[in-house]
Amino acid sequence: MQVSLLATGGTISTKPHESGATPELEAESLASSAQLAGKAVSIRARDVARISSRSVTPQTMWALAKAVEDEIRCGSDGIIITHGTDTLEETAYALSLLLQTPVPVVLTGAMRVPASPGADGPANLAAAAAVATTPLFAAYGPVVVHQDEIHLARWVTKFHSTHVAAFESPSAGPIGLVVEGKAVPLAGPLPSPRLTRVCAPDKRVELLWAAAGSDGVLVNAIRDQIDGLVVAGLGGGHVPPPLAEALVSTVSAGIPVVLASRCPNPMVLDSTYGGVGGEIHLLKSGLVSAGNLSAIKARLKLIFGLSAGLTGNDLFGSEG
């Protein structure tokens, strides 16, 4: 089999320095850990970036999607992407919006720097290779493999900031496991979230977190500078009344506003709570529901969708 390893940087590629670890290892240096016992696998290694994931942008994600498509056109049977863990879930979801995946596409990373005791990068790379060389996982779209668990891009999130087992899928759990070097599915694939049209991102969408006492100061300050807004609301999609008024004014100005939930296991209601700032008021006033999509992933969907000429209703009409 021919597998491509696309490296973007992150902890898995760092070297220690007095000032702190920085991404420096090339893709070729990581490829040896992706070799599988008992499988004849040829690995083509390529550096797409060498940055910390805090520096990843939607433009980086677009470039990575193009690199994946290039590798598939060149005959790769599977794609492994190494990535920093801080924004790995965002890149995975962006790729699921942008790509058709006739081969498995697997993202992985590490929580411990390579020079530390018990570094987890090599084991995660080996597990990623097991999934990337199992053709049936192409149907799942891009997945995240970490600590022998296989997570769907839509659900996965970095749940722990320091634990080695950092990733979880609160809404559904992992969709597969890696056992004895073999990728084992636990649940069938879901319909692809891929956008109907894709192009390079050129829209600015901000994310606002609602909290007790939030008002409209931030929304009013940025309204003239944004193309869209996602608000991570309280509970089932609620915001304080002063913030609600600013959000409705934003929609009235022609700027799409997506209502998500800030809960780790999110679900926006549509017909339970009344009053200003309740989900009934907000949705009737023109906000669109992110349904059970997390706020950070709803932001990416809005960025890439607006950039491709789609509307908020086009993008989220089936989410609620």
CA angle, 211 then 213 then 217, to 5°: 95
| Token pair for 18 | 């007095």
Q: Which residues are catalytic?
A: 11
More confident residue, 224 or 319: 224
Does domain 205-316 match CATH 3.40.50.40?
Answer: yes
Per-residue pLDDT at 38 exceeds 80: no
User: Does the domain at residues 2-185 carry the CATH identifier 3.30.750.200?
Assistant: no
Whether 219 contacts 243, CB under 8 Å: yes
Is pLDDT at 220 greater than 60 in this prediction?
yes
83's tokens: 């990535």
Calculate mean pLDDT across residues 166-193: 95
**Reported confidence tier of residue 143, pLDDT bands at 50, 70, 90:** very high
Question: What value does the mean pLDDT of the chain take?
Answer: 95
Q: Is the predicted pLDDT of residue 319 greater than 80, yes or no?
A: no
Q: Say if residue 320's pLDDT is above 50.
A: no
pLDDT tens-digit map of 248-271: 999 999 999 999 999 999 999 999
Q: Give the confidence band of 171 by pLDDT, cuts at 50, 70, 90.
A: confident
pTM summary value: 0.95
What span, in angstroms and rounded, lies between the C-alpha atoms of 306 and 163?
36
Average pLDDT for 93-115: 97
Give the model's pLDDT for residue 37.
59
Give the SS3 label for residue 204: coil
- Residue 279, SS3? helix
Digit-coded pLDDT (tens) for 21-36: 999 999 999 998 877 6
Query: So where are the chain's domains?
Result: 2-185, 205-316
At 265-318, the pLDDT tens digits run 999 999 999 999 999 999 999 999 999 999 999 999 999 999 999 999 999 986
The answer to whether the 2-185 and 205-316 domains have the same CATH topology is: yes
The pLDDT, as a whole number, for residue 39 is: 74
**Percent residues over pLDDT 90 in the chain:** 93
